[in-house]
Amino acid sequence: MTSNNLSRTSDINWEAEPDVDRVRHALSMLKIDRRAAVSELEELADKGSVASMLYLGWSYSAIAGGIDNATLAEAWLRRAAEHGSLLARFYLGSIYRKAGQLKAAVAEYTLCVAGEYMPALYRLGVMYYRGEGVIKDVDMARELWVRAASGGHIYARRNLALMLMSGRSGIKRIPDGIRAWLGATLDFFVAIRTVPKSDLLR
């Protein structure tokens, strides 16, 4: 993962950032002088920079080893989430899910879903489909994937296509599923080449 993963203008209100140029400079320094970059981002975060909170959370979560890193990652992402960042809340859900804290993951994804955040709609659908942290509910999974797919989410479209191909909606719908799967597969290859960091692929 690179810092480009967080470049979502739809999630970060750059106009509300106290100093966009300083944030960008700090980001450019992460690979050159991480200590100085983190210090700069922390100062900006204390001035209300949600982007800095988000990047700090990513920075700590991306570094291997140490409970302190995980704790700091969660703390910074939590601050960003409390300032309205759906991406931060989505990352929190992903961290909890990976750690096996499934109910906590469901709670974070559910809050994202209230904001119609496509990746969270898809991930929460997967959890309902598998019964992870919730009672297994295929109908709920389908509903969440339909909402994500309506925004173009490729994996949600693929999963809905596979459900049709399984024959659960009737044999007559299998051809529809095949066409939908082919369309999602084609769009996947286009997106992976043109917009690999897009929410359509999260």
Q: Domains of the chain (ranges plus CATH)? A: 1-84 (no CATH), 96-202 (1.25.40.10)
Per-residue pLDDT for the chain (202 aa), expressed as one digit of tens each? Answer: 344 444 444 567 777 888 888 888 888 887 888 888 889 999 999 998 999 999 898 888 765 444 558 888 899 999 999 998 999 999 999 999 988 999 999 999 999 998 889 999 999 999 999 999 999 999 999 999 999 999 999 999 999 999 989 888 888 888 888 998 999 899 889 988 888 778 888 8
Look-up of token digits 């024959």: 167
Q: What does the DSSP assignment read for 94-119? A: HHHHHTT-HHHHHHHHHHHHTTT-HH
Place of tokens 């299998």: 174
Question: Distance between CA 158 and CA 103 in Å, rounded?
Answer: 26
Distance CA(110)–CA(91), nearest Å, equals 13
Residue 92 in contact with residue 78, Cβ under 8 Å? Answer: yes
Task: Please tell me the number of Cα atoms within 13 Å of 140 on its side-chain side.
Answer: 16
